[in-house]
């Protein structure tokens, strides 16, 4: 049985010991640094404190509503220095997504064109489903027909919920759920906790896993991601989705190494 996590809020000595074990911190974003546009108190100072100790910080989000360039803007606006650590562009052609011509109600002409296949691009080989604040029936219909034609079903992640403005909202898993219902199979999920994501991060940053710590608000994605990735540590925060009751008690499948009430508590 995994030992209970160490509660670090208010434990100056414990916090120092914990931080000293790691060279690299992987930070989940929603529910850890911020809730939507609300930056949590202490986030900026905590990240600066870690940087001043020579720690490398990597931001690892499942949130697909922004490109890395947009995240850089968000971090800049919030006073968090960061580089756009973009993997060299994969040169994968794509359609759909934020295309404004799809932001409308489906029409009888769309039904006919989708059914006849004339609205479908024959070169599409995969449907990638992520968090989409503009999801609609037209996009779902197109995705469904591509899947029916044999496209590979992928998801950025299948998170059930998204923390924003201090509450929970439908997550990317709720976006792919109608398609799962329609095609009767689950997508291959590429975000946390998939180790494909860990391998990509490690390939880019070349860190020693034993000296890295994953900080997150979700047990089933972030903390699991760190544990299954063989990282030296995992730290849960209580400002997002998971509650401490989820790891308290016997036989809990995912238990972080330590937890704090909020990220800012790492300042000691
Ligand atoms: O539904 C989603 O896509 C996720 O809940 C959301 O984007 C999580 O982002 P993260 O906590 O990984 O920054
Ligand atoms: Mg999160």
Ligand 1 pocket mutation pick from 43, 157, 160, 173 by most atoms within 8 angstroms of CB: 157
199 has catalytic annotation: no
How far is the centre of ligand 1, averaged over its atoms, from the C-alpha of 241 (Å)?
10
Q: Dihedral sign for Cα 17, 20, 21, 24, please.
A: positive
**Cβ-proximal residues to 67 (8 Å cutoff; 6+ apart), any chain:** none
Residue 121: half-sphere exposure toward Cβ, Cα within 13 Å:
10
| Ligand 2 ion: Cβ-proximal residues, 5 Å cutoff | 28, 30-31, 217, 240
Q: How large is the angle between the packed helices 137-148 and 172-183, nearest 10 degrees?
A: 50
Q: Quote the tokens at residue 141.
A: 């219909």
The CATH fold assigned to 118-189 is Rossmann fold (3.40.50)
**Chain Cα centroid distance, residue 154:** 15
pLDDT tens for the 268 residues of the chain, in order: 678 899 999 999 999 999 999 999 999 999 999 999 999 999 999 999 999 999 999 999 999 888 888 888 999 999 998 887 743 356 778 899 888 999 999 999 999 999 999 999 999 999 999 999 999 999 999 999 999 999 999 999 999 999 999 999 999 999 999 999 999 999 999 999 999 999 999 998 999 999 999 999 999 999 999 999 999 999 999 999 999 999 998 889 999 999 999 999 999 8
Ligand 1 pocket mutation pick from 159, 169, 226 by most atoms within 8 angstroms of CB: 159
Q: Quote the tokens at residue 51.
A: 């940087």
**Closest CA to ligand 1's atom 5:** 162
SS (H, E, C) the chain: CCCCCEECCCCHHHHHHHHHCCCEEEECCECCCEECCEECCCHHHHHHHHHHCCCEEEECCCCCCCCHHHHHHHHHHCCCCCCCCCCCCCCCCCCCCCCHHHCCCCCHHHHHHHHHCCCCCCCCCEEEECCCCCCCHHHHHHHHHHHHCCCEEEECCCCCEEEECCEEEECHHHHHHHHHHHHCCCCEECCCCCHHHHHHHHHHHCCCHHHEEEEECCHHHHHHHHHHCCCCEEEEECCCCCCHHHCCCCCCCCCCCEEECCHHHHHC
Complex ipTM value:
0.95
Please determine whether the domains at 6-62+192-267 and 118-189 fall in the same fold group of CATH: yes
Alpha carbon separation from 262 to 185, 201, 249, 258 (Å, rounded):
37, 25, 22, 12
Nearest to 146 by CA among 92, 90, 95: 95
To the question of domain 6-62+192-267 being in CATH 2.40.100.10, the answer is: no
Could you state, in order of their start, the residue ranges of all structural domains in the chain? 6-62+192-267, 118-189
């Amino acid at each position: 049985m995994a030992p209970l996590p160490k509660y670090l809020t208010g434990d100056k000595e414990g916090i120092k010991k914990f931080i000293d074990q790691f060279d690299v911190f992987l930070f989940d974003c929603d529910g850890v640094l911020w809730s939507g546009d609300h930056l949590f108190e202490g986030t900026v100072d905590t990240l600066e404190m870690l940087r001043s100790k020579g720690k490398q910080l990597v931001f690892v989000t499942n949130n697909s509503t922004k490109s890395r360039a947009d995240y850089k803007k968000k971090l800049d606006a919030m006073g968090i220095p960061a580089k756009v650590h973009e993997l060299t562009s994969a040169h994968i052609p794509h359609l759909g997504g934020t295309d404004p011509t799809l932001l409308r109600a489906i029409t009888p002409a769309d039904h006919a064109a989708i059914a006849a296949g004339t609205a479908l691009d024959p070169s599409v080989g995969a449907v990638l489903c992520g968090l989409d604040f503009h999801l609609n029936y037209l996009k779902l219909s197109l995705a469904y027909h591509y899947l029916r034609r044999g496209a590979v079903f992928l998801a950025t992640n299948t998170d059930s919920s998204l923390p924003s403005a201090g509450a929970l909202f439908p997550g990317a898993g709720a976006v792919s759920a109608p398609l799962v219902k329609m095609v009767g199979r689950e997508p291959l999920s590429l975000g946390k906790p998939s180790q494909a994501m860990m391998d990509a991060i490690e390939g880019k940053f070349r860190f020693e896993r034993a000296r890295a710590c994953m900080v997150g608000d979700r047990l089933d994605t972030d903390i699991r991601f760190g544990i299954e990735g063989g990282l030296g540590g995992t730290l849960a925060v209580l400002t997002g989705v998971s509650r401490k009751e989820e790891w308290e008690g016997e036989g809990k499948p995912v238990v972080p190494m330590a937890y704090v009430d909020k990220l800012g508590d790492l300042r000691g």
